[in-house]
Amino acid sequence: MKKLTIVIYLTLSASLTPIAAKYVVSEISPLLLAFFRFGIATLLLLIIFFIRKQNISIDKKDILSFLILGALVIPINQFFFLYGVYFSSASHSGVFYACIPLVIFSFSVLLKNERFSVRKLFTISLSVIGIILIFWEDFIRSKQGYSNKLLGDFLLFFAVSSWALYLTLSRNMVIKYGTIKTTTVAFSIGMLLSIPFFILDIKSLDFHKISFWGVIGFLHLSVLVAFAGKFIYTYSTKIITTSTLATFTNVAPILTILLSWILLKEELSYFFIIGASITILGVYLTQFFSERKLIT
């Protein structure tokens, strides 16, 4: 029962994140949302960190690495993600973020942390074809002046890339300092780097524009995902097999697409459905071959 509850939580929280972001960015500036969202998550992390009486100091040689991680995880990633969702759609965000394992693999090959695989090249190519189909439709619409989704899609692509790069580069720090300390230090640095953007955009803050669903969406993004989701996922890897997690993770973008259609009334064109299906298939096959390699 515990494993099922964790899997359901991770799947639903991931699938609802783009939808919650779409609700909230219509009521509050993406820059302010990023600051408040991770401000709360960082504060909660610091409370847990000091309750456990951990030492926040790090080696001098790792300062640059943590500066890079802090910049990637909050100001860079959140700028691209929230503005991407603002201009594009929640359903597109769900599909792009499903590609994180593929981007991580690409970075790992470049950094020589993993070996090149012909099978994975094929599956990555499938996902790229699917994304091209999604981009192509938005390119046609933007060229005709009907949509800004193409800009949003490009921003989402960079959001996924920055998040995947953060996960890849944080690996050595997690091994050395542990998940909680690495995350807390990176988030704290990221918040400090976000202060100038907060000051720049503070004039646009208007609490009267925030609705009930905007508050619910914000709590989901800050508490359930940015804070609790990190701990639950880390804990889940200790009691649930990677293959099981990967399988249910692949369900998340499908749920995002369906819920975006139901809750946000987003249009699901034939181009998008075909492109999304090919992309998700590519992601699934990549993870499938990875698991087979581990087993054999």
- pLDDT score at 143: 61
The residue range of the domain holding 28 is 2-295
DSSP 215-250: HHHHHIIIIIIIIHHHHHHHHHHHHS-HHHHHHHHT
Report how far residue 184's alpha carbon sits from residue 43's, in angstroms, rounded to the nearest whole number.
Answer: 9
Q: Helical H runs in the chain?
A: 2-25, 30-51, 63-71, 77-87, 90-97, 100-110, 118-143, 149-177, 179-201, 212-219, 228-239, 242-249, 251-263, 270-295
In Å, the largest CA–CA distance within the chain is 58
Pair 73, 1: CB distance under 8 Å: no
Side chain identity, residue 73: V
Per the CB < 8 A criterion, the answer to whether 110 and 276 are in contact is no
Residues with pLDDT less than 50, the chain: 292-296
Q: What is the pLDDT of residues 219-276, one digit of tens each?
A: 999 999 988 887 787 667 667 765 566 666 677 888 888 889 898 888 888 778 888 8
Rounded distance between C-alpha atoms, residue 89 and residue 16, angstroms: 13
pTM for the model: 0.83
pLDDT at 72 (0 to 100): 95
Q: Provide the sign of the torsion angle of the four alpha carbons 218, 93, 160, 95, taken in this order.
A: positive
Task: Report the number of distinct structural domains present in the chain.
Answer: 1
**Structural tokens at position 18:** 């783009």
Closest by Cα among 65, 28, 25, 46 to 159: 25
Q: In whole angstroms, how far apart are CA 237 and each of 7, 114, 183, 246?
A: 11, 20, 17, 11
